[in-house]
A and B are shown apart, each in its own frame.
Chain A
Amino acid sequence: MPTMTVSGHQYDLDSRSVEAALQGALPEPIQEHFVVINGRRWPPKQVLALVTGLDRADFTTHQARRALTRLGFTAARAASPRERHRAGSPAAAPPRPAVSSTAERSESSVEALRPFIGLWVAVRGDEVLVAAPSAKEVVAWLAQHRQRAQSMFRVLDSEQAINGAAPQ
């Protein structure tokens, strides 16, 4: 297990211990940087604070990001709202779509939702803001972080759940 120093303290960490430390927690809103853990996007500072118990003021985003990438997690930078708009993924208003753009957007939305099968999600455009076992937890998260979703629903865990409502 690799040893790393964060804010003057030494920790023995590996990817499994990080994943375990996140059990039961929900990712906070992504400001700019994120790491991918268990198929979800997490703010690096939130992860390192949960793993080490340190105060977030004790380290920077870049230190957190570097520590987590050393453990094998993917890190990236979220597109700014302007960049997302340019990329054709509007937050709330679907553009007057052509057939191909609708199909492309559907595909990216589906892939964003796939890790959350069986969970309630709140989405904005193609971005999954939060996923949780109940609608109550999703609503609480939105209120806590002052986020507004475009839509909330449960990602199907069984195709019967949809076929009963709308026969194919």
Chain B
Amino acid sequence: MRFAFRALPAAGGGTLTPRPVIDIALEGLPDAPMECLLDTGALRTRMSAELAPLAGIELSGALTEEFYIGGLKTAGVLARVGLTVTDGTDEFSWDAPVWFCDPWPHPFGWAGLEGFLHYFLVTIRAYDGYLDIEPQP
């Protein structure tokens, strides 16, 4: 499955450098896949905690860890959830640990080692502005 890098408008005008992103749908929220930044340096896969109730994911009583991100203290709550990725033609679903974070200052989720990279062969072609992912058995 191929995903083009996505560029965003800069608030001050112009365009930000296109980033490698994958759209990952949470089980229970199939119509609104969340854009996730591919972060090869991140151990966890993280998303905003506000998505969990929208997908019907129960977080109370789950394992919680506090950490700093970009200088901001935040708390992540672990849930094992069904995830799906599709390019419109092919589709792959898997079950993975996702940390739902509050506050979450970023406009997208993070696709890290646990939760995403463990499940795919990923080829990044930054020069051409896209990445390919291939599910691993």
* A residues in contact (CB < 8 Å) with B: 90-94, 96-99, 102-103, 105-107, 109-111, 113-114, 117-118, 122, 134-136, 138-139, 142-143, 147-166, 168
Chain B contact residues: over half helix, strand or loop, or mixed? loop
Known: A91-B88, A93-B2, A117-B9. 7 other contacts (CB 8 A): A102-B18, A106-B129, A151-B6, A153-B34, A154-B108, A156-B11, A165-B110
Contact of A149 among B33, B48, B88, B127 (CB under 8 A): B33
CA distance A33 to B112 in the complex (A): 42
Within B24-54, the residues touching A (CB, 8 Å) are 29-35, 37, 39, 48, 50-51, 54
B9: shortest Cβ distance to chain A, in Å?
Answer: 4
Which chain A positions have C-beta within 8 A of B108? 153-154, 165
Interface size on B, residues (CB 8 A): 48
Number of A-B contacts (CB under 8 A): 139
CA distance A34 to B71 in the complex (A): 44
B128 interface contact, C-beta 8 A: yes
Contact of B32 among A113, A122, A157 (CB under 8 A): A122
